[in-house]
Structure 1
Amino acid sequence: MRSLGLLFVTVSLSSLASCWTGGHRDVSAEHRRLRARNIVYNGEIQSTYDFVIAGGGTAGLVIASRLSEDSNTTVLVLEAGDTGDAIKDSIDVPANAYYKSTWGTTYDWQFATVPQPKANNRVIAWARGKILGGCSATNGMYQVRPSELEVDTWESLIAPEDSVNSKAWSWANFLEAMKKSETFTPPSDAIKAEADIAFDPSSRGTNGPIHVSYPGYSFPVIGNWTPTLQGMGVPQSPDAYNGQGWGTFIVSSAINPTNWTRSFARSGYIDPLPPRSNLDILPNATVTRLVFSNSNGQITATGVEYAATSSGPRVIINVRKEVIITGGAVGSPHILLHSGVGPQDVLSAAGVPVVYNLPGVGQHLQDHISAEIIYNTTIDTAGSIHASNSSTANSAEFLSYVNDATSYVNISSLVTDVATFQSGLNTFDASLVPSTDPTVIAGYQAIYNASVNKLLNSPVGQVEILLALTGTASGAQTIGIQAALQRPLSQGRLYINTSDPFAKPVIDPNYLSHAADLTIMRQGLKMARAVGASAPLNIAIGAEVSPGVAVSNDTQWETWLTANFGTEFHPSCTCAMLPLNQGGVVNANLQVYGLTNVRVADASVFPIEFSAHLMAPVYGLAEQAATIIRANHNSVTLPWAAGAPSPSSTSSGSSNGSGGKKSGALPRSSISSSFALLGCSAIAVAAAIFTL
């Protein structure tokens, strides 16, 4: 049995809790130094660029860094948020993800859903990073990869349309892209032993921009996590990063162990760069729309319009080659819709002229929801090293601690009769689709069938169980054991109801619209309670604070759950990579259907929600996107396309299968061959009971 004497050193950090409330624009005294990082502070940019990237978040900065490696290619990034320099401490110190959060500040988009009928009509907040680096600058730093089964399912959904380029999204190729983004550093021997960490370095990247490791401080109770779950039949994963991302493990985090700071898209991909005259990054520049020309049915983006504020002047930047939209699951469909690309009925109702009727834009929205069991602790924390203001509590190693104990449990751990449960899901209910377009309905059915027939009765985790040692809404000296739905059958949509691009979109995730999601979440919470009651973890567990032992039967669980679940902050799929006849928005090369030179490359293109936090797959997606784009414009054959015949017809809705004309193609250059916020208790849902 491991000693638990220091268990709640970390939770006592909640006494430092504060939230940035400044609302100013960043003003830097180090203009020249920062300009060397390619960030433009004076607004002086060129009128024309080869590539304009709409969104300087996790994916956008990766792609900007990679594309600008070609010195004869010019790249502009337009980012709506600030640089983040004024809140550097909040970003860099890992523990401040919990105790000095950007939520609710000007560095957060402050999105919210519409009232959710299955959540007691609650409005649920969606924090998203409005800052250079996007959510990678503000999230919980979890670096978790999806499983091989899920990634290959993704490939299988787009393969019928393009059997060659779909191979970019096979597990083997996508794994290499994820590895390319990271430099993995194993934990120290002491941390490895104390936390019972298992890993295989051969699955990890060794020379990427993002540092991935483990906190420099741990707690004995974390070492009790794995044996507790093993005793409940959920084995330890010997290597959760090589395609078998299920079972129990201690996750790695986006932490730089050389100085114990957050490693994120800006610090990894942009700040270390020497000055590049071909790369400009403009903060405080909200993309308002794309400007198109239409010549003989060829719809081409010729410019990108942006503004600093809703009342400020609109500026158009000319585009020579491509526009790459990287606004995330909310921002990317928002940009397309305000550019006149999306469902015709939505655009007409919002007063936006229709450029191209693309019914799938904003559809297929999926998200992880979570709730937690909260306990008091039996451990006396009055003499914790933090409370005594010891040097350890103020060390960089200590302040690098972030929650890291997790378990991805499959359906057999949640229901007793899997066959009966699955048989109840055999019929797809088209009435749950928030669209009448037949292609969108077909896409919903394709995603549903893949989820039920390929992934439900598999080792893939249906629920994530998390140990939270950083305090809860019930106080610093409490433990949370969270349950988060990973493979939702419920899908929603995002749309606009005004032509004002500064107005927030309408977000309707349609939470728990499919009754099976309620059942799985209910069973996940039961399991979370069982974990808290099991040895050896239970030595630290005191009285249950929430929901309390009075909640015990299925009806009581469901009533409590619908009133208290929130989001795990992992929205995706709103510009889904699906065939056009299934409501897809992008093809296998990330090109937007119907447009010759526009791509989307972020979490919005995943066609299914992964059983994982989304930062690692977004980095992999961005790396793969950069490889595809550079190969296209440098006349390089992609590895997975070598020897394969070109597709007989383009899927981009035009005759230009490259996604853009090749006039002015660059000389050949050498290219590579080849996102997480924690759940928080929140909001409610009145839900139907799904019978096991």
Structure 2
Amino acid sequence: MENYDWIVVGAGSAGCVVAGRLAEAGRGRILVLEAGPRDLSPWIHLPIGYGKTFYAPRLNWMYRTEPVPGLDGRVVYQPRGKVVGGSSSINAMVWSRGQAEDFDGWAAAGNPGWSGADVLAAYRRMEDHALGASDWHGAGGPVHISDIAGECHPLTALFVRAGLEAGLRPNPDLNGATTEGVGHYQITTRNGRRVSAATAYLKPALKTGRVRLVTGALAERILFEGHRAVGIRYRRGGRVHEARAGGGVILTAGAFNSPQLLQLSGIGPADLLARHGIAPRVDRPAVGRHLQDHLCYDHVYRARRPSLNDDLLPLIGQIRAGLAYLFGRRGPLSLSVNQGGGFFRTRADLDRPDMQLYFSPLSYERALPGVRALMKPDPFSGFSTSVSPCRPTSRGHVAIRSADPSAAPSIVPNYLDTEEDRTTILAGARFLRRLAATPTFRDLIADELKPGPDCASDEALAADIRARAYSVFHPCGTCRMGPDPADHVVGPDLKVHGVDGLRVADASIFPTVPSGNTNAPAMMVGWMAADRILAETAARR
């Protein structure tokens, strides 16, 4: 039996932050368990390499949902990082912190300490922002945020101009005083390399000697003494190991795997556990419920001007891109393809933006479903625009399929399950048509490839949304935070209701999905979890 002060289960976006901060504070010995390998693949660290890791089974859980009625019964791909750094090692690197009102809503729902002002203070401590220290940004923190406005493909400037022509306001800082408007995304890179939670937090922590990282370690269940979590049973290389934690166990395995491990350990809906022969330890119906995710829908165009396709497909273009990266860490290989975007309101009566906008100066319509062939785009100049409703009202669930820890959980997202969600995404599709009709885009667009000009009526657009919309990979809410043990899994201190010595700290605890990309909020949760643990341990001294 191995003994530690803390066990962190999952070296992902939040887990690396928790472990890093505990190690920095010198609070005991920490074991970090990760089911995947070390983050040694060069495709992880080359920013545009996420097109390779998107469909790499060694680095990616590659989950799939159950058939979704609201999407014509389609199965939807759900990539999740299975590697040190978790999804922060394979994502598109967009740093989007959410709207202050999102977190004010969390606090108002019975979670003190999680307001917009509270989380902004955490973000500023985490950041080393290219725009420098300000009321909205931090400098000198572990997570470097790059401002790519001066490096984007030239088509991105045309997109921003078209957005202004479509009635959006300019926003040079989409993480500033407001998210509303159109501009350039900021991304987690430093000197042309990806900044993941692992590079920012875990690797420095490993140098302290206080952290032991075990990769290839699949957590099978939580160990208990009475109602107190005291350790983890895990399998590695065909052998079963057990580790004990004097301070506590912290689940940071993500929106799918944290509820899965709770259920495997007897914490969850009693009827579900009984069906799979698991003795219920604590009947918690909310474990695995309230799954939320952002859905995305795009329009694809053939362009009259060169796009990123022309830089990445021809051999000469690949050589130029490679040389630019090799000798200056610049060029398309140093960026995400999500280069432009913003947030807008689909209705005038809304008090804040409810729709996220994306622009990619590249198209890859030839790619097989589930494959982002970023280095093999279409053999013509092309680009895409996309919309993603910020605050979906549909709710799904995650549940174990069996008592086998290696079996993927059942994922039921229920996309477009409500009339409000269907109406909102249709309004987003209509905006994409308005954007395409601006003078700038009329001059740029040669053809609308998808959905095509014949798809004109609301009925036709709604049918195309059902046929082509996809997840933008922001699952959350399955161990949501709140004060009521009957409807929430953890309290505002992130402790599991009804269990001692056990916390959950990842995107699964979001009471509602933030209005934007979720990697930054997931890392913020790791920061806030460490704050609470450090304050509690200091109080005991």
CA contact (8 A) 2:268 2:285 kept: yes
Describe how 1:127-526 pairs up with structure 2 within 5 A.
127-159=79-111, 166=112, 168-186=113-131, 201-215=134-148, 217-237=151-171, 239-242=173-176, 244-256=178-190, 259-273=191-205, 275-294=207-226, 299-308=227-236, 312-380=238-306, 387=314, 388-389=316-317, 391=320, 394-396=323-325, 397-398=330-331, 399-402=333-336, 403-412=338-347, 457-459=350-352, 461-474=353-366, 475-476=378-379, 477-526=381-430
Distance 1:71 1:528, change over 3 A: same
CA contact (8 A) 2:155 2:361 kept: no
Name the structure 2 match of 1:96.
49
Task: Tell me the amino acid that sits aligned with residue 55 of structure 1.
Answer: G
Describe how 1:56-135 pairs up with structure 2 within 5 A.
56-85=11-40, 87=41, 89-98=42-51, 100-135=52-87
SS at match of 1:305: strand
Task: Tell me the amino acid that sits aligned with residue 535 of structure 1.
Answer: P
Deviation of 1:319 after TM superposition, in Å, equals: 1.4
Higher mean alpha-carbon deviation, 473-482 vs 107-116, is at 473-482
- Structure 2 distance, partners of 1:238, 1:372, is 23
Contiguous gaps of at least 5 residues in structure 1: 1-45, 160-165, 187-198, 419-456, 636-664, 668-692
Number of positions where the alignment pairs a residue of Structure 1 with one of Structure 2: 519
Task: Tell me the amino acid that sits aligned with residue 301 of structure 2.
Answer: Y
Deviation of 1:381 after TM superposition, in Å, equals: 6.6
Which has the higher Rg, Structure 1 or Structure 2? 1
- Structure 1 distance, partners of 2:198, 2:99, is 27
- Structure 2 distance, partners of 1:227, 1:202, is 28
Name the structure 2 match of 1:632.
536
Distance 1:480 1:72, change over 3 A: closer
TM-score of the superposition, structure 2-length normalised? Answer: 0.92
Deviation of 1:321 after TM superposition, in Å, equals: 1.1
- Structure 1 distance, partners of 2:169, 2:267, is 47
Task: Tell me the amino acid that sits aligned with residue 225 of structure 2.
Answer: S
Deviation of 1:156 after TM superposition, in Å, equals: 0.6
- Structure 2 distance, partners of 1:70, 1:554, is 56
CA contact (8 A) 1:497 1:505 kept: yes
Task: Tell me the amino acid that sits aligned with residue 268 of structure 1.
Answer: A
Deviation of 1:72 after TM superposition, in Å, equals: 4.9
CA contact (8 A) 1:465 1:528 kept: no
Higher mean alpha-carbon deviation, 511-520 vs 75-84, is at 511-520
Name the structure 2 match of 1:541.
445
Once the two structures are superposed, residues 163-183 of structure 1 have per-residue CA deviations (whole angstroms, 9 ceiling, x without a partner) of: xxx1x2011111011121121
SS at match of 1:372: strand
Distance 1:608 1:315, change over 3 A: same
Task: Tell me the amino acid that sits aligned with residue 49 of structure 2.
Answer: N
Query: RMSD of the alignment, in Å?
Result: 2.0
Indicate which of 569, 573, 580 corresponds to 2:484.
580
SS at match of 1:323: strand
CA contact (8 A) 2:153 2:361 kept: no
TM-score of the superposition, structure 1-length normalised? Answer: 0.72
Deviation of 1:278 after TM superposition, in Å, equals: 1.9
Distance 1:300 1:243, change over 3 A: farther
Identity of aligned residues (%): 28
Higher mean alpha-carbon deviation, 567-576 vs 521-530, is at 521-530
Distance 1:245 1:582, change over 3 A: farther
Distance 1:634 1:96, change over 3 A: same
- Structure 2 distance, partners of 1:489, 1:59, is 25
Once the two structures are superposed, residues 298-346 of structure 1 have per-residue CA deviations (whole angstroms, 9 ceiling, x without a partner) of: x10112110026xx23211011111000011111101111010011111
- Structure 1 distance, partners of 2:206, 2:481, is 35
Name the structure 1 match of 2:527.
623
Indicate which of 613, 629, 638 corresponds to 2:517.
613
Name the structure 1 match of 2:374.
none
Deviation of 1:212 after TM superposition, in Å, equals: 0.6
CA contact (8 A) 1:49 1:319 kept: yes
Task: Tell me the amino acid that sits aligned with residue 236 of structure 1.
Answer: P
Distance 1:384 1:561, change over 3 A: closer
Deviation of 1:65 after TM superposition, in Å, equals: 0.8
Deviation of 1:541 after TM superposition, in Å, equals: 1.5
CA contact (8 A) 1:251 1:406 kept: yes
CA contact (8 A) 2:309 2:382 kept: no
SS at match of 1:525: helix
CA contact (8 A) 2:307 2:382 kept: no
Once the two structures are superposed, residues 78-127 of structure 1 have per-residue CA deviations (whole angstroms, 9 ceiling, x without a partner) of: 00010021x1x2011111123x2342422110111111112111111100
